[in-house]
A and B are shown apart, each in its own frame.
Chain A
Amino acid sequence: MNAAAVECAGIWKFYGDYPALRDISLKVPQGRCLALIGRNGAGKTTLLRILGGFSKAGKGQVSIFGQNPRETGARRRIGFIGHGIAVYDELSALENLRLFARLYQLPDAERTAREWLERTGLERVRDGLVREFSRGMRQRLAVARAFLHGPSVLLLDEPFTALDDRAVAVLQTVLRDALAGGRTVIMSTHQLREAMELATDVALIGRGRIAFHGERTEEMVNDPAWVYSHYGEA
Protein backbone atom coordinates (compact mmCIF):
# COMPACT_ATOMS: atom_id res chain seq x y z
CA MET A 1 0.00 0.00 0.00
CA ASN A 2 1.16 3.55 -0.76
CA ALA A 3 2.32 5.91 1.98
CA ALA A 4 -0.46 7.84 3.75
CA ALA A 5 -1.04 11.19 2.09
CA VAL A 6 -3.55 12.26 4.71
CA GLU A 7 -3.70 10.83 8.18
CA CYS A 8 -5.62 11.84 11.25
CA ALA A 9 -5.81 10.11 14.60
CA GLY A 10 -8.13 10.64 17.55
CA ILE A 11 -9.67 13.87 16.25
CA TRP A 12 -12.17 15.54 18.53
CA LYS A 13 -13.77 18.91 17.87
CA PHE A 14 -16.07 20.71 20.24
CA TYR A 15 -18.42 23.61 19.56
CA GLY A 16 -19.03 24.73 23.12
CA ASP A 17 -19.81 21.49 24.92
CA TYR A 18 -21.11 19.75 21.81
CA PRO A 19 -18.67 17.27 20.25
CA ALA A 20 -18.96 17.80 16.49
CA LEU A 21 -16.28 15.16 15.88
CA ARG A 22 -15.67 12.22 18.19
CA ASP A 23 -12.40 10.34 17.98
CA ILE A 24 -12.07 10.34 14.19
CA SER A 25 -9.15 8.38 12.77
CA LEU A 26 -8.56 8.08 9.03
CA LYS A 27 -5.68 7.12 6.81
CA VAL A 28 -5.90 7.95 3.11
CA PRO A 29 -3.05 6.55 1.00
CA GLN A 30 -1.60 8.53 -1.88
CA GLY A 31 -3.55 8.27 -5.13
CA ARG A 32 -6.86 7.31 -3.50
CA CYS A 33 -10.15 9.16 -3.66
CA LEU A 34 -12.19 9.08 -0.46
CA ALA A 35 -15.87 10.02 -0.63
CA LEU A 36 -16.91 11.39 2.74
CA ILE A 37 -20.64 10.97 3.07
CA GLY A 38 -23.13 11.66 5.81
CA ARG A 39 -26.28 13.60 6.64
CA ASN A 40 -26.26 17.38 7.09
CA GLY A 41 -24.53 18.29 10.33
CA ALA A 42 -22.72 14.95 10.55
CA GLY A 43 -19.32 16.68 10.75
CA LYS A 44 -18.00 16.34 7.19
CA THR A 45 -17.18 20.03 6.71
CA THR A 46 -15.65 20.29 10.17
CA LEU A 47 -13.40 17.30 9.44
CA LEU A 48 -12.33 18.70 6.05
CA ARG A 49 -11.52 22.09 7.61
CA ILE A 50 -9.36 20.40 10.24
CA LEU A 51 -7.59 18.29 7.60
CA GLY A 52 -6.94 21.46 5.58
CA GLY A 53 -5.57 23.36 8.57
CA PHE A 54 -8.35 25.99 8.59
CA SER A 55 -9.59 24.92 11.97
CA LYS A 56 -7.87 23.41 14.99
CA ALA A 57 -8.89 20.08 16.43
CA GLY A 58 -9.74 20.00 20.13
CA LYS A 59 -7.74 16.79 20.41
CA GLY A 60 -5.86 14.56 17.99
CA GLN A 61 -3.24 14.75 15.27
CA VAL A 62 -3.46 15.54 11.56
CA SER A 63 -0.72 15.12 9.00
CA ILE A 64 -0.42 15.75 5.28
CA PHE A 65 2.48 13.68 3.96
CA GLY A 66 3.82 13.62 7.51
CA GLN A 67 3.60 17.39 8.02
CA ASN A 68 1.26 19.52 10.09
CA PRO A 69 -1.26 21.04 7.65
CA ARG A 70 -0.31 24.55 8.88
CA GLU A 71 3.30 24.13 7.80
CA THR A 72 4.19 25.98 4.61
CA GLY A 73 5.30 22.78 2.89
CA ALA A 74 1.97 21.09 3.59
CA ARG A 75 -0.02 24.14 2.50
CA ARG A 76 1.66 24.04 -0.91
CA ARG A 77 0.39 20.48 -1.31
CA ILE A 78 -3.24 21.15 -0.40
CA GLY A 79 -5.96 22.32 -2.79
CA PHE A 80 -9.29 23.21 -1.19
CA ILE A 81 -12.77 23.91 -2.47
CA GLY A 82 -15.12 24.89 0.33
CA HIS A 83 -18.69 26.13 0.36
CA GLY A 84 -17.57 29.54 -0.97
CA ILE A 85 -15.80 29.88 -4.30
CA ALA A 86 -12.90 31.76 -2.64
CA VAL A 87 -12.30 34.16 -5.50
CA TYR A 88 -12.75 37.93 -5.47
CA ASP A 89 -15.83 39.43 -7.11
CA GLU A 90 -14.04 42.75 -7.73
CA LEU A 91 -11.20 41.16 -9.69
CA SER A 92 -11.26 39.63 -13.15
CA ALA A 93 -10.89 35.88 -13.69
CA LEU A 94 -7.30 36.35 -14.85
CA GLU A 95 -6.44 38.67 -11.95
CA ASN A 96 -7.83 36.15 -9.46
CA LEU A 97 -5.82 33.24 -10.82
CA ARG A 98 -2.69 35.38 -11.21
CA LEU A 99 -3.08 36.48 -7.58
CA PHE A 100 -3.21 32.91 -6.28
CA ALA A 101 -0.46 31.76 -8.63
CA ARG A 102 1.76 34.49 -7.14
CA LEU A 103 0.78 33.63 -3.57
CA TYR A 104 1.79 30.02 -4.30
CA GLN A 105 5.01 31.37 -5.88
CA LEU A 106 4.52 29.52 -9.14
CA PRO A 107 7.40 30.22 -11.52
CA ASP A 108 5.25 31.64 -14.33
CA ALA A 109 2.07 32.93 -12.73
CA GLU A 110 0.70 34.51 -15.90
CA ARG A 111 1.11 31.40 -18.04
CA THR A 112 -0.32 29.08 -15.37
CA ALA A 113 -3.33 31.36 -14.86
CA ARG A 114 -4.03 31.46 -18.61
CA GLU A 115 -3.63 27.69 -18.95
CA TRP A 116 -6.22 27.08 -16.24
CA LEU A 117 -8.60 29.62 -17.74
CA GLU A 118 -8.40 27.71 -20.98
CA ARG A 119 -8.79 24.37 -19.26
CA THR A 120 -11.95 25.48 -17.46
CA GLY A 121 -13.40 27.18 -20.54
CA LEU A 122 -13.06 30.71 -19.17
CA GLU A 123 -10.40 32.07 -21.54
CA ARG A 124 -13.03 34.08 -23.47
CA VAL A 125 -14.08 35.96 -20.29
CA ARG A 126 -10.63 36.22 -18.69
CA ASP A 127 -10.89 40.00 -18.27
CA GLY A 128 -14.48 40.01 -17.06
CA LEU A 129 -15.10 40.78 -13.39
CA VAL A 130 -16.17 37.74 -11.37
CA ARG A 131 -19.21 39.61 -10.03
CA GLU A 132 -20.60 39.57 -13.59
CA PHE A 133 -20.13 35.79 -13.98
CA SER A 134 -22.89 33.20 -13.90
CA ARG A 135 -22.88 30.69 -11.05
CA GLY A 136 -21.46 27.97 -13.27
CA MET A 137 -18.61 30.19 -14.46
CA ARG A 138 -17.79 31.16 -10.89
CA GLN A 139 -17.68 27.49 -9.88
CA ARG A 140 -15.34 26.67 -12.76
CA LEU A 141 -13.08 29.53 -11.69
CA ALA A 142 -13.10 28.10 -8.16
CA VAL A 143 -11.97 24.76 -9.58
CA ALA A 144 -9.16 26.51 -11.48
CA ARG A 145 -8.14 28.38 -8.31
CA ALA A 146 -7.97 25.18 -6.26
CA PHE A 147 -6.02 23.18 -8.87
CA LEU A 148 -3.65 25.74 -10.39
CA HIS A 149 -0.72 25.09 -8.03
CA GLY A 150 -0.80 21.33 -8.72
CA PRO A 151 -1.75 20.19 -5.21
CA SER A 152 -1.00 16.61 -4.15
CA VAL A 153 -4.01 16.52 -1.83
CA LEU A 154 -7.42 17.85 -2.81
CA LEU A 155 -9.97 18.55 -0.10
CA LEU A 156 -13.34 19.22 -1.67
CA ASP A 157 -16.40 20.15 0.36
CA GLU A 158 -19.53 19.24 -1.60
CA PRO A 159 -17.85 20.10 -4.91
CA PHE A 160 -20.77 18.99 -7.12
CA THR A 161 -23.43 20.98 -5.29
CA ALA A 162 -25.23 23.56 -7.45
CA LEU A 163 -22.95 23.03 -10.44
CA ASP A 164 -24.31 23.25 -13.97
CA ASP A 165 -23.64 20.39 -16.40
CA ARG A 166 -20.57 22.04 -17.86
CA ALA A 167 -19.03 22.73 -14.46
CA VAL A 168 -19.71 19.12 -13.39
CA ALA A 169 -17.96 17.91 -16.56
CA VAL A 170 -14.97 20.21 -15.96
CA LEU A 171 -14.68 19.10 -12.34
CA GLN A 172 -14.96 15.40 -13.19
CA THR A 173 -12.30 15.77 -15.89
CA VAL A 174 -9.79 17.57 -13.67
CA LEU A 175 -10.48 15.12 -10.82
CA ARG A 176 -9.92 12.11 -13.08
CA ASP A 177 -6.70 13.68 -14.38
CA ALA A 178 -5.62 14.40 -10.81
CA LEU A 179 -6.27 10.83 -9.70
CA ALA A 180 -4.50 9.46 -12.77
CA GLY A 181 -1.55 11.66 -11.80
CA GLY A 182 -1.37 10.09 -8.34
CA ARG A 183 -3.09 12.92 -6.44
CA THR A 184 -5.15 12.18 -3.36
CA VAL A 185 -8.74 13.40 -3.15
CA ILE A 186 -11.05 13.64 -0.16
CA MET A 187 -14.48 14.97 -0.98
CA SER A 188 -17.57 15.36 1.11
CA THR A 189 -20.72 15.06 -0.92
CA HIS A 190 -24.44 14.42 -1.05
CA GLN A 191 -24.24 13.69 -4.80
CA LEU A 192 -23.68 9.98 -4.27
CA ARG A 193 -23.84 8.93 -7.92
CA GLU A 194 -21.09 11.36 -9.05
CA ALA A 195 -19.03 10.54 -5.96
CA MET A 196 -19.22 6.76 -6.41
CA GLU A 197 -18.03 7.07 -10.02
CA LEU A 198 -14.78 8.69 -8.83
CA ALA A 199 -14.24 7.27 -5.34
CA THR A 200 -11.92 4.42 -4.51
CA ASP A 201 -12.91 4.51 -0.83
CA VAL A 202 -15.97 5.58 1.11
CA ALA A 203 -16.36 6.83 4.67
CA LEU A 204 -19.73 7.44 6.29
CA ILE A 205 -19.86 9.94 9.14
CA GLY A 206 -22.79 9.98 11.53
CA ARG A 207 -23.04 12.27 14.55
CA GLY A 208 -19.33 13.02 14.48
CA ARG A 209 -18.19 9.38 14.32
CA ILE A 210 -16.97 7.19 11.46
CA ALA A 211 -19.78 4.68 10.97
CA PHE A 212 -18.16 2.97 7.99
CA HIS A 213 -14.81 3.22 6.18
CA GLY A 214 -13.78 0.90 3.41
CA GLU A 215 -13.16 0.42 -0.26
CA ARG A 216 -15.87 1.33 -2.71
CA THR A 217 -17.58 -1.79 -4.02
CA GLU A 218 -19.71 -2.58 -7.05
CA GLU A 219 -22.77 -2.64 -4.78
CA MET A 220 -22.13 1.00 -3.92
CA VAL A 221 -21.84 1.96 -7.60
CA ASN A 222 -25.04 0.15 -8.47
CA ASP A 223 -26.87 1.53 -5.46
CA PRO A 224 -25.27 4.79 -4.25
CA ALA A 225 -27.41 4.71 -1.09
CA TRP A 226 -26.10 1.26 -0.19
CA VAL A 227 -23.79 2.55 2.56
CA TYR A 228 -26.61 4.52 4.16
CA SER A 229 -28.95 1.56 4.07
CA HIS A 230 -26.39 -0.78 5.67
CA TYR A 231 -24.48 1.48 8.06
CA GLY A 232 -26.49 4.69 8.39
CA GLU A 233 -28.81 5.58 11.23
CA ALA A 234 -32.50 5.03 10.78
Chain B
Amino acid sequence: MRFLSQVMTITTKDLRAEMRTKEAINASFSFALVVLLLLSFAFEPTEQTTQEISGGLLWIVFIFAGTLILNRSFARELPNDCLDALIAAPIPGAALFLGKALANFILILAVEFVALPVFGIFYNVRWAQQFWPLLLVLILGTWGLTTIGTVFSALTVNIRLREVMLPLLVYPVMIPLLLGAMRLSTLLVAGQAITGDETVWFRLLIGYDIIFTALSLVLMDTVLLG
Protein backbone atom coordinates (compact mmCIF):
# COMPACT_ATOMS: atom_id res chain seq x y z
CA MET B 1 0.00 0.00 0.00
CA ARG B 2 2.82 2.38 0.97
CA PHE B 3 4.70 1.43 -2.20
CA LEU B 4 1.66 2.18 -4.38
CA SER B 5 1.14 5.51 -2.64
CA GLN B 6 4.77 6.45 -3.35
CA VAL B 7 4.37 5.40 -6.99
CA MET B 8 1.24 7.52 -7.37
CA THR B 9 2.92 10.50 -5.67
CA ILE B 10 5.75 10.43 -8.25
CA THR B 11 3.34 9.90 -11.17
CA THR B 12 1.11 12.78 -10.08
CA LYS B 13 4.11 15.06 -9.58
CA ASP B 14 5.49 14.31 -13.06
CA LEU B 15 2.13 14.72 -14.79
CA ARG B 16 1.39 17.95 -12.92
CA ALA B 17 4.81 19.39 -13.77
CA GLU B 18 4.41 18.39 -17.43
CA MET B 19 0.90 19.83 -17.67
CA ARG B 20 2.21 23.16 -16.29
CA THR B 21 5.08 23.46 -18.78
CA LYS B 22 3.81 21.22 -21.63
CA GLU B 23 7.44 21.06 -22.81
CA ALA B 24 7.61 17.40 -23.72
CA ILE B 25 4.01 16.76 -24.71
CA ASN B 26 3.84 19.71 -27.13
CA ALA B 27 7.13 18.74 -28.76
CA SER B 28 6.04 15.12 -29.02
CA PHE B 29 2.59 15.95 -30.49
CA SER B 30 4.08 18.32 -33.05
CA PHE B 31 6.83 15.89 -33.99
CA ALA B 32 4.38 12.99 -34.47
CA LEU B 33 2.08 15.05 -36.69
CA VAL B 34 4.91 16.47 -38.81
CA VAL B 35 6.50 13.04 -39.36
CA LEU B 36 3.14 11.50 -40.27
CA LEU B 37 2.60 14.30 -42.78
CA LEU B 38 6.08 13.95 -44.30
CA LEU B 39 5.80 10.17 -44.55
CA SER B 40 2.47 10.54 -46.34
CA PHE B 41 4.32 12.55 -49.02
CA ALA B 42 7.10 9.96 -49.22
CA PHE B 43 4.81 6.94 -49.59
CA GLU B 44 1.73 6.85 -51.79
CA PRO B 45 -1.05 6.09 -49.28
CA THR B 46 -3.23 4.14 -51.70
CA GLU B 47 -0.51 1.70 -52.80
CA GLN B 48 -0.59 -1.88 -51.53
CA THR B 49 3.05 -1.72 -50.42
CA THR B 50 2.35 1.31 -48.25
CA GLN B 51 -0.55 -0.53 -46.61
CA GLU B 52 1.80 -3.42 -45.93
CA ILE B 53 4.31 -1.25 -44.05
CA SER B 54 1.73 0.91 -42.29
CA GLY B 55 2.38 -0.70 -38.88
CA GLY B 56 6.07 -0.01 -39.26
CA LEU B 57 5.49 3.63 -40.17
CA LEU B 58 3.13 4.02 -37.24
CA TRP B 59 5.59 2.62 -34.69
CA ILE B 60 8.49 4.63 -36.07
CA VAL B 61 6.44 7.74 -35.41
CA PHE B 62 5.49 6.49 -31.94
CA ILE B 63 9.03 5.66 -30.80
CA PHE B 64 10.53 8.89 -32.15
CA ALA B 65 7.79 10.98 -30.55
CA GLY B 66 7.95 8.88 -27.38
CA THR B 67 11.68 9.42 -27.06
CA LEU B 68 11.09 13.16 -26.74
CA ILE B 69 8.92 12.50 -23.68
CA LEU B 70 11.32 9.92 -22.24
CA ASN B 71 14.27 12.31 -22.61
CA ARG B 72 12.55 14.78 -20.28
CA SER B 73 11.64 12.15 -17.68
CA PHE B 74 14.80 12.38 -15.55
CA ALA B 75 16.15 15.56 -17.16
CA ARG B 76 13.21 17.26 -15.43
CA GLU B 77 14.92 16.47 -12.11
CA LEU B 78 18.18 18.27 -12.98
CA PRO B 79 17.24 21.93 -12.45
CA ASN B 80 17.65 22.81 -8.76
CA ASP B 81 19.20 19.33 -8.11
CA CYS B 82 15.77 17.80 -7.53
CA LEU B 83 17.16 14.34 -8.28
CA ASP B 84 19.20 14.57 -5.07
CA ALA B 85 16.03 15.21 -3.10
CA LEU B 86 14.37 12.16 -4.66
CA ILE B 87 17.42 9.98 -4.00
CA ALA B 88 17.53 11.27 -0.41
CA ALA B 89 13.86 10.45 0.21
CA PRO B 90 13.16 7.05 1.80
CA ILE B 91 11.55 5.57 -1.30
CA PRO B 92 12.81 2.51 -3.12
CA GLY B 93 14.24 2.97 -6.61
CA ALA B 94 11.51 0.62 -7.85
CA ALA B 95 8.79 3.06 -6.70
CA LEU B 96 10.59 5.95 -8.34
CA PHE B 97 10.95 3.96 -11.56
CA LEU B 98 7.33 2.82 -11.60
CA GLY B 99 6.02 6.31 -10.81
CA LYS B 100 8.01 7.85 -13.62
CA ALA B 101 7.25 5.01 -16.04
CA LEU B 102 3.50 5.40 -15.41
CA ALA B 103 3.64 9.15 -16.06
CA ASN B 104 5.62 8.55 -19.28
CA PHE B 105 3.20 5.79 -20.33
CA ILE B 106 0.18 8.10 -19.95
CA LEU B 107 1.86 10.92 -21.87
CA ILE B 108 3.04 8.68 -24.74
CA LEU B 109 -0.38 6.99 -25.00
CA ALA B 110 -1.99 10.44 -25.21
CA VAL B 111 0.27 11.32 -28.16
CA GLU B 112 -0.56 7.99 -29.81
CA PHE B 113 -4.29 8.52 -29.43
CA VAL B 114 -3.99 11.82 -31.29
CA ALA B 115 -1.59 10.47 -33.91
CA LEU B 116 -3.64 7.36 -34.71
CA PRO B 117 -6.70 9.08 -36.26
CA VAL B 118 -4.38 11.40 -38.21
CA PHE B 119 -2.55 8.32 -39.48
CA GLY B 120 -5.91 6.79 -40.48
CA ILE B 121 -6.76 9.87 -42.54
CA PHE B 122 -3.33 10.24 -44.22
CA TYR B 123 -2.95 6.56 -45.06
CA ASN B 124 -6.58 5.82 -45.78
CA VAL B 125 -6.80 2.91 -43.33
CA ARG B 126 -9.81 1.99 -41.20
CA TRP B 127 -7.85 1.42 -38.03
CA ALA B 128 -10.95 1.37 -35.81
CA GLN B 129 -12.21 -1.91 -37.30
CA GLN B 130 -10.00 -3.88 -34.90
CA PHE B 131 -9.99 -1.24 -32.19
CA TRP B 132 -9.69 -3.40 -29.04
CA PRO B 133 -6.88 -5.67 -30.26
CA LEU B 134 -5.11 -2.58 -31.62
CA LEU B 135 -5.52 -0.87 -28.26
CA LEU B 136 -3.96 -3.91 -26.59
CA VAL B 137 -0.98 -3.75 -28.98
CA LEU B 138 -0.58 -0.03 -28.28
CA ILE B 139 -0.65 -0.63 -24.52
CA LEU B 140 1.82 -3.52 -24.62
CA GLY B 141 4.17 -1.82 -27.08
CA THR B 142 4.05 1.51 -25.29
CA TRP B 143 4.69 -0.08 -21.89
CA GLY B 144 7.78 -1.83 -23.34
CA LEU B 145 9.01 1.48 -24.81
CA THR B 146 8.30 3.22 -21.51
CA THR B 147 10.13 0.75 -19.26
CA ILE B 148 13.27 0.67 -21.38
CA GLY B 149 13.12 4.41 -22.01
CA THR B 150 12.65 5.31 -18.35
CA VAL B 151 15.61 3.22 -17.20
CA PHE B 152 17.88 4.58 -19.90
CA SER B 153 16.62 8.08 -19.20
CA ALA B 154 17.91 7.63 -15.62
CA LEU B 155 21.16 6.13 -16.91
CA THR B 156 21.86 9.01 -19.32
CA VAL B 157 20.58 11.86 -17.17
CA ASN B 158 24.05 13.17 -16.32
CA ILE B 159 25.46 12.75 -19.82
CA ARG B 160 25.84 15.98 -21.76
CA LEU B 161 24.62 14.41 -25.04
CA ARG B 162 21.72 12.55 -23.44
CA GLU B 163 19.26 13.56 -26.20
CA VAL B 164 21.45 11.64 -28.65
CA MET B 165 22.48 8.82 -26.31
CA LEU B 166 18.96 7.85 -25.23
CA PRO B 167 17.72 6.77 -28.69
CA LEU B 168 21.08 5.14 -29.47
CA LEU B 169 20.72 2.96 -26.38
CA VAL B 170 16.97 2.39 -26.44
CA TYR B 171 16.24 1.55 -30.07
CA PRO B 172 18.50 -1.52 -30.41
CA VAL B 173 17.10 -3.01 -27.18
CA MET B 174 13.59 -2.43 -28.51
CA ILE B 175 14.04 -4.40 -31.75
CA PRO B 176 12.15 -7.54 -30.58
CA LEU B 177 9.31 -5.43 -29.20
CA LEU B 178 9.10 -3.36 -32.38
CA LEU B 179 9.06 -6.46 -34.60
CA GLY B 180 5.98 -7.73 -32.76
CA ALA B 181 4.22 -4.38 -32.45
CA MET B 182 4.82 -3.49 -36.11
CA ARG B 183 3.63 -6.86 -37.41
CA LEU B 184 0.47 -6.87 -35.28
CA SER B 185 -0.31 -3.22 -36.02
CA THR B 186 0.03 -3.77 -39.78
CA LEU B 187 -2.56 -6.54 -39.64
CA LEU B 188 -4.92 -4.71 -37.30
CA VAL B 189 -4.96 -1.35 -39.08
CA ALA B 190 -5.76 -3.28 -42.27
CA GLY B 191 -8.81 -4.64 -40.46
CA GLN B 192 -7.52 -8.23 -40.17
CA ALA B 193 -8.03 -10.24 -36.99
CA ILE B 194 -5.03 -11.82 -35.22
CA THR B 195 -5.32 -15.58 -35.49
CA GLY B 196 -3.18 -18.70 -35.63
CA ASP B 197 0.58 -18.22 -35.77
CA GLU B 198 0.30 -14.43 -35.51
CA THR B 199 -0.68 -14.69 -31.81
CA VAL B 200 2.96 -15.52 -31.07
CA TRP B 201 3.70 -11.80 -31.51
CA PHE B 202 1.28 -11.02 -28.69
CA ARG B 203 3.11 -13.48 -26.47
CA LEU B 204 6.40 -11.85 -27.45
CA LEU B 205 5.10 -8.43 -26.41
CA ILE B 206 3.82 -9.75 -23.08
CA GLY B 207 7.06 -11.63 -22.38
CA TYR B 208 9.19 -8.62 -23.30
CA ASP B 209 7.17 -6.35 -21.03
CA ILE B 210 7.35 -8.73 -18.07
CA ILE B 211 11.11 -9.33 -18.41
CA PHE B 212 12.09 -5.69 -18.82
CA THR B 213 9.69 -4.43 -16.16
CA ALA B 214 11.13 -6.93 -13.66
CA LEU B 215 14.71 -6.05 -14.63
CA SER B 216 14.02 -2.33 -14.35
CA LEU B 217 12.42 -2.69 -10.91
CA VAL B 218 15.44 -4.62 -9.64
CA LEU B 219 18.13 -2.46 -11.25
CA MET B 220 16.82 1.05 -10.61
CA ASP B 221 18.68 1.64 -7.33
CA THR B 222 21.94 0.61 -9.00
CA VAL B 223 21.23 2.78 -12.03
CA LEU B 224 20.59 5.84 -9.85
CA LEU B 225 23.59 5.46 -7.55
CA GLY B 226 26.06 3.42 -9.56
Which of these binds chain A: B44-52, B84-92, B123-131? B84-92
Tell me the nearest residue of chain B to A49, going by C-beta: B84
Closest CB-CB distance, A10 to chain B, in whole Å?
A: 20
Instruction: Scan residues 85-107 of chain A and give those whose CB is less than 8 A from a CB of chain B.
Output: 85-91, 95, 99-100, 102-105
Binds A, one of B9-17, B53-61, B109-117, B172-180: B9-17
Q: Tell me the total A-B contact number using a CB cutoff of 8 A.
A: 76
Give the complex CA separation of A54 and B226 in angstroms: 10
Chain A contact residue count (CB 8 A cutoff): 30
Which residues of B sit under 8 angstroms from A86, Cβ to Cβ? Answer: 80-82, 84-85
Residues of A within 8 A of B6 (CB): 102-103, 105
Contact of A105 among B2, B21, B84 (CB under 8 A): B2
Are A56 and B225 in contact, with the CB atoms below 8 A?
yes
A54/B88 contact (C-beta < 8 A), A85-B80, A105-B2 known: yes
Q: Is the Cβ of B13 less than 8 Å from the Cβ of A80?
A: no
B20 close to A (CB within 8 Å): yes
Contacting residues, chain A, for B86 (C-beta < 8 A): 103
Contact check, A76 vs B84: say whether CB atoms are below 8 A apart: no
A129 adjacent to B20 (CB under 8 Å) = yes
Interface size class on chain B is 20 to 34
**Cα A102 to Cα B90 with chains together (Å):** 10
What chain A residues lie within 8 Å of B9 (beta carbons)? 99, 102-103
Candidates B20, B84, B90; contact of A90 at CB < 8 Å: B20
Asked if A145 is at the interface of the complex by the 8 Å CB criterion, the answer is yes
Please measure, in the bound complex, the distance between the C-alpha atom of A87 and the C-alpha atom of B13, giving whole angstroms: 12
- B residues contacting A by CB (< 8 A) are 2, 5-6, 9, 13, 16-17, 20-21, 79-82, 84-92, 225-226
Answer whether residue A70 sits at the interface, using C-beta atoms and an 8 A cutoff. Answer: yes
Task: Identify the 6 closest CB pairs spanning chains A and B, nearest first.
Answer: A84-B81, A86-B85, A75-B90, A103-B89, A90-B17, A90-B20
B88 touches A75 (CB 8 A): yes
* A70 x B225 contact (CB < 8 A): yes
Would you call B88 and A78 a contact (CB within 8 A)? yes
CB closest residue in chain A, given B99: A103
Q: Which residues of A contact B16 (CB under 8 A)?
A: 90-91, 95
Please name all residues of chain B whose beta carbon is closer than 8 Å to the beta carbon of A95 when the two chains form the complex.
Answer: 16
Contacts of B79 in A (CB 8 A): 84, 89
Structural contact, B17 and A91, CB atoms closer than 8 A:
yes
